[in-house]
Amino acid sequence: MQVPDLDVGRRFYTDFGLNSEERGNDVIFRCEGRDQDQLQLIEGAPKQLHHICFGTTEEEIPQIQAALEKAGCEIIDAPKEAPDGSGLWWRDFEGMTFNVRAAEDTRAAVGAEYVTNDHVNKRRIGRLHEFFDLPQIKPRRLGHVVVFTGDLERKTKLLEETLGFAVSDSVGPFMDFYRLLTGGDHHVVACIQSHAPGLQHVAFEVANADEVHFGGRRMLDKGYLDAWGPGRHAGPGSNLFHYLRDPWSSCVEYFADIDYIPEGHNWEARRYMPGDLPDFCGPAVPPSFNVNFEAMNPNSERL
């Protein structure tokens, strides 16, 4: 992300639970116990998504480039702000920048294990729940990115035909969720129809409902703005969630317990309509949740 103030961004994401380090002029964030860059902050104005990076095998990069060129995407040199400039860089039809590079699979740390009691099994006996000893919720990994697009139908076709994504589910005619055919979370990218491109939210996985709730509560206590939650999606992904606003009004999510779709599984994509989704799994969606603040006039009022 490009942000007007690195110190403000560093403070927010550190409070959120990520580990930071300075690298050149930028701030890089990683999740506890995960040997992989998850987020890069680049100083500049206005605040906006700079690029999205994917990993693949070295052998697949030429195939991806050929598919991108066939689709009319612009292959570009690495931006000067890129951390190391490696891999393949391109811009799509609305100027959104992407990078794909050879990368090894990186596992997340296991994290805290909580001993729970239920109506049958009493495993935590004579002591408090260890959850209350945690000074800070530490996300395990960056799970997915959701962006706005000026042309959802065209964006979906591009992601399917060039990067091999598949639509897992949709909401109305205005939002598509995409998964990897090699197996993984219900979605790793999603797109929302808007008047222009921009970032809607980035989502970081935590262990369970306690961590979703406590992480969000802790951020609110520090004075950050709420966006939506806590709750559970009664539709695409089925995951627990709590969204907060970053200092520039994009959303950041704690999530847990998302649907998993293995390679080769015959998943049937559904199209949910907003009226079909029950509201008993959390608060109603605020009207501001899907506002594309990145594409607003810089002088417009913030939340």
Domains and CATH numbers, the chain: 2-102+138-295 (3.10.180.10)
Distance CA 258, CA 295 (A): 29
Cα 62 to the center of its chain, rounded Å: 27
Backbone angles phi, psi at 294, to 5 degrees: -65, -30
CA dihedral in degrees (163, 78, 293, 156; nearest 10)? -10
Q: What is the pLDDT of residue 114?
A: 82
**Pairing of the two strands 175-180 and 165-171:** antiparallel
Question: CA angle 139-145-150, nearest 5°?
Answer: 160
Residue 291: the pLDDT is: 94
Q: Of the candidates 141, 188, 140, which has an alpha carbon nearest to the alpha carbon of residue 164?
A: 188
Please report the pLDDT score of residue 120 as a whole number.
Answer: 92
Question: What distance in Å separates the CA atoms of residue 287 and residue 265, rounded to the nearest whole number?
Answer: 35
The per-residue pLDDT for 240 is 96
Are the beta carbons of 138 and 31 closer than 8 angstroms? Answer: yes
| Three-class HEC string of 95-130 | CCEEEEEECCCCCCCCCCCCCCECCCCECCCCCCCH
Which residue's entry shows tokens 């099994």?
121
Residue 277 burial class via C-beta count within 10 angstroms: exposed 0-12, middle 13-18, buried 19 and up: middle
- Mean per-residue pLDDT pooled into runs of 10, the chain (303 residues): 96 97 94 93 94 95 97 95 85 96 83 83 89 82 97 98 96 96 96 96 95 94 96 93 96 97 96 75 87 73 38
In this prediction, residue 278 carries a pLDDT of 63
* CA 29 to chain CA mean position, Å: 14
